[in-house]
Amino acid sequence: MADNLYDLVIIGSGPAGESAAMNASKAGKKVAIIDMRHQVGGNCTHQGTIPSKALRHAVHQVMQFNRNPLFRHISEQKWLSYSQVRETAQRVIDRQVAMRARFYSRNGVDLYYGVASFVDGNTVKVDRGEDQVDVLTGQEFILATGSRPYRPPEIDFSHPRIFDSDTILNTPETPRHLVIYGAGVIGSEYASIFNGLGCKIDLINPGARLLAFMDDEISDALSYHLRGNGVLVRHNEEFDKVEGFDDHIVLTLKSGKKIKADAFMWANGRTGNTDKLNLDAVGLTANGRGQLEVDKQYRTSVPNIHAVGDVIGWPSLASAAYDQGRSASGVILENDTFRYINDVPTGIYTIPEISSVGQTERELTAAKVPYEVGKAYFKDTARAQITGEDVGVLKLLFHRETLELLGIHCFGDQAAEILHIGQAIMAQKNGGNTIRYFLEHTFNYPTMAEAYRVAALNGLNRIF
């Protein structure tokens, strides 16, 4: 047993934990990171953002090849198995782990692998298995343990044809017909991925529309595009039971419908990873979804324990988690690295992508804000015609009197990249945030960025 004293102990080595550790170590603090895996990177690197986006990219490349007439002189259409595209994702994961391990080594952060649990408000033990335990004493703690898929107890996830968003990564076969229950971000992304592999997809949505938090028009565009590629989307359907057999599954919905398929994937909700922390020892209690409540400085009700990332709920994005971790350590350091994260861009890596920042039309209408809309359709831009990625739209919402940008919503190839141009303008102060920026500055041609000029002109033409 080893006893170790630290200024800051961080549980979880995902984006939130990593950024907190880097910020504190560069300020001269003695920092330890604990992760239950024997590799750094957290869920983001091993089971969430990185593998799913790497899979998506590989599938997208296959789709580009198959629809490009230039390649018809070389070969007929190609289809890869899920295991083949999974290999490309594993290569990315390996590179990410090696890179992040170098970060910790270079900055003198101590790594501990095992299950962490509190002994008291200043002590955690790390169970490494086989009766090996490390005891760490810390002045401050940051919980960045992330989340995992919620698993209803009535579903047998040990069945080889029943998956969640973590276990689907390890399936050895490409199902011909996959049912996905849950049409949020994860369900929609995996529907795109498997559809791109040639699978028949039933996407079951308990709600009335896909991605209900998005701008309605963008949500409708994704729904239309998925249906156009053969995805069967069923709205307002609730789960009753799923039965696994040797060669198929049967999903029964509360409406009485039954669906037979090769495999089933549950993608409806996530749970914070707090159950093994022994929170009772420090007087903390997680909510029914395993999440911790924090104040606007990411402190829990125990002053020296902070929490960041998925374990606190919204927005449950890797990008926000990174900033939250840095900010939480900034509170501890009492330097200028703190900021409260309350307005983040959303990137959804369906095929095509969706990205947005700011308010939606529904929100502006409810608030009685006099706004106008400017649009640029990708099919009308030279760059999209050149690349063949001509499905999509850039949509600007702006105040019709001040011309202030109020919201940016994009559907199409590279949407998550395109969005950041508008996000930078929205952040300008002293009158700098207006759509006139896009008319008063010259954009490279042909580029997708040019869509901002087209959308701004389109919007201004509506003003009278």
Percentage of residues of the chain with pLDDT beyond 70 = 98
Q: What CATH number is given for 162-268 in this structure?
A: 3.50.50.60
CATH architecture of 2-149+271-333: 3-Layer(bba) Sandwich (3.50)
Residue 1 has pLDDT above 60, yes or no: no
Q: Which H or E element spans position 132?
A: strand 132-143
CB atoms within 10 A of CB 51: 23
Each residue of 121-130: b (16+ CB within 10 Å) or e?
Answer: ebbbbbeeee
Q: CA–CA separation, 216 vs 203, rounded Å?
A: 19
Residue-level length of the chain: 464
Summarize the annotated binding site as residue ranges. Answer: 35-44, 53, 145-147, 182-189, 269, 310
Binding residue ranges for NAD(+):
182-189, 269
Cα distance between residue 342 and residue 296, in whole Å: 10
Tokens read off for 107: 């900055």
Q: Where are the domains of the chain?
A: 2-149+271-333, 162-268, 352-460
Q: What does pLDDT average to over the chain?
A: 94
User: What's the whole-number mean pLDDT along residues 226-233?
Assistant: 96
Report percent pLDDT > 90 for the chain: 88
Range from 67-76, 208-217, 264-273, 446-455 carrying the lowest mean pLDDT = 67-76
Q: How many Å apart are CA 310 and CA 448, to the nearest integer?
A: 32
The pTM (predicted TM-score) of the whole model is 0.93
Residue 269 CA: distances (Å) to CA of 47, 58, 148, 158, 195: 15, 26, 9, 19, 22
Q: Note the CATH number of domain 352-460.
A: 3.30.390.30
Q: Given this chain, do its domains 2-149+271-333 and 352-460 carry the same CATH topology?
A: no
Q: Detail the residues annotated as belonging to a binding site for FAD.
A: 35-44, 53, 145-147, 310
User: In this predicted model, what pLDDT tens digit does every residue of 186-217 receive, in sequence order?
Assistant: 999 999 999 999 999 999 999 999 999 999 99
List the structure tokens of 296: 């606007």
In whole angstroms, give the CA distance from residue 29 to residue 9: 10
Q: Are strands 263-266 and 162-164 parallel, antiparallel or unpaired?
A: parallel
pLDDT in tens, 27-67: 999 999 999 999 999 999 999 999 999 999 999 988 888 88
